[in-house]
A = this chain, B = another copy of it.
Amino acid sequence: MTDVAARFSAIVGGRHFAVDDAIADDYGHDEALTIPPQRPAYLAKPATAEEVAALLKTATEHHVPVTARGSGCGLSGAAQPVADGLLISFERMNAIVEIDTDNHVAVVQPGVTLTELDAETARVGLSYTVYPGELSSSVGGNVGTNAGGMRAVKYGVTRHNVLGLQAVLPTGEIIRTGGKMSKISTGYDLTQLIIGSEGTLALATEVTVKLVPRLAHSVTVLAPFDDFDQVMAAVPKLISSGLNPTIVEYIDNVVMAAIVNAEKLELGIPEQIRDTCAAYLVVALENNHTDRLDEDATALGALLSDWGAVDAYVLQGNSARRLIVARENVFWTAKAIGADDIIDVVVPRASMPEFLRRARDIAMAEGVGMSGCGHAGDGNVHGVLFCKEPKTRKKLLTEIFALGMSLGGAISGEHGVGRAKADYFRELEDPAKVALMQRIKHSFDPAGILNPGVVFGQHRP
């Protein structure tokens, strides 16, 4: 074992450390479709912030690149290690430290999964509202990518629901940012800076998240539309309605057919409607009062009809749950049917029709199919591209991302830049902003050990 390996091993203990071929294949990748697996040189599974600090201090001294890993289900390769680097897996730091019902916060270690947190908060009538597709994802991973998901239209994304962090700097210093409150005006907001930085600035070792009262009743309405633009036009009106929906998703007919088939869903929609329908809107409402919920669901149905829906199906209990689960699993469905890349562009919600129309035209010009679904309330489009040829795919994605940015949007709404989108980010983003971000990166990590290649591309220190 090399000197540095021995030092890493001594920090976490031999049982929680491995090198080279002793590292299982799973640690060599996350779920990004376009990044080839890469086994790291070292794998460490720390148990405490102090161990993380010692690992980072040692890595800085020896210029060893460090990548952090939660559940490994990211879609942009930010948890993908580098060949001569150290992978820090947070799987042992998976304790729910505290659920504080007076302050409505939970304090958790980064390895806690959303499923685990949901089960514990449910016991006390509270809820952590971030709800990305993958509920086996870890809170630490969510912090890294600023995970979003279906409930963001009402509750915001990870950055709106994380109040504070304990984080380790590459120097080995352990800091605490924020706290058990929503407002602080005392110096720069380091919490928000670290969230979404994809493991390039500091590693979160404890996360304080906001909880809200868990609402007792919900209803899910599925509305098929024959005209795609009408779906999109309905979204701003729905947001303006004051019905305050928890979920506003669109699913195009191709994706709906795929998930209905994959999940063997029976949604009760006549074949004739399914055949002519261009896309579906899925809207969920929540309330503590069943009478208010019923009244709102009726109002919603009438509005959807006014806005051009062919019909509006109120899904009950199990059907609603299964549709939402199927929507969560759409990445796996897309992967199974051979998707070559996924788009996570976000645009102002009113620009979605134009974006989708023009993005489809761009793809079509190369004979490439594109279909999708997305978080319509947030302007976040998840398109699936079927295009095996890397050069063509790169060209298409560059044009599609540039289109999104020209409409005031960004390359990624919730998956992050990671490794998969780093070249596009470098090519398309304002150089003044990239340079500023790199200076910020340097202010945290002068040795450049944290996740080199992520966000900024292949620029090693």
Task: Report which A residues bind B (CB closer than 8 A).
Answer: 100-105, 125, 145-148, 152, 156-157, 159-160, 169, 173-177, 179-190, 192-193, 195-197, 201, 213, 215, 236, 239-242, 288-289, 292, 344, 346-350, 375, 378-380, 408-417, 421, 425, 429-430, 432-434, 436-437, 439-444, 455
Contact = CB atoms under 8 A, between A and B. Distances in A.
A377 to B, nearest CB: 9
A353 to B, nearest CB: 11
Given A159-B192, A440-B188, A183 B346 contact: yes
A104 B240 CA distance: 8
Among A236, A288, A440, chain B packs the most CB atoms within 10 A around the CB of: A440
A83 to B, nearest CB: 25
A104 B437 CA distance: 29
Contact of A213 (B103, B176, B240): B240
Nearest to A103: B348
A186 B432 contact: no
| From A100, A188, A197, A417, residue with most partner B Cβ within 10 Å | A188
A148 B101 CA distance: 23
Contacts of A441: 188
B184 A188 contact: no
Contact of A433 (B179, B190, B288, B344): B190
A406 to B, nearest CB: 12
Nearest to A413: B183
Given A175-B433, A242-B215, A444-B436, A188 B193 contact: yes
Number of copies: 2
A157 B159 CA distance: 14
B159 A189 contact: yes
Nearest to A401: B186
A10 to B, nearest CB: 24
Contacts of A433: 175, 177, 187, 190
A182 B411 CA distance: 14
Contacts of A146: 183-185, 189
Contacts of A409: 179, 181
Contact of A160 (B100, B125, B160, B348): B160
Contacts of A197: 188
Given A103-B349, A182-B152, A195 B190 contact: no
Given A104-B240, A186-B417, A215-B242, A179 B348 contact: yes
B169 A183 contact: no
A187 B443 contact: no
Contact of A417 (B156, B160, B180, B187): B187
A177 B196 CA distance: 14
A192 B189 CA distance: 7
B236 A187 contact: no
A185 B350 contact: no
Contacts of A432: 169, 173-175
A324 to B, nearest CB: 19
A289 B299 CA distance: 13
A139 B137 CA distance: 37
A137 to B, nearest CB: 14
Given A187-B455, A189-B196, A442-B443, 11 more contacts: A100-B350, A102-B236, A146-B185, A152-B183, A169-B436, A181-B347, A185-B412, A185-B413, A185-B416, A185-B417, A186-B429
A187 B413 contact: no
Given A187-B455, A189-B192, A242-B288, A180 B408 contact: yes
B102 A350 contact: yes
B443 A436 contact: yes
Nearest to A198: B185
A413 B430 CA distance: 33
Nearest to A191: B192
A245 B365 CA distance: 52
14 contacts: A102-B350, A104-B240, A147-B185, A148-B185, A175-B433, A180-B379, A181-B409, A181-B413, A184-B412, A188-B196, A189-B196, A213-B240, A213-B242, A292-B292
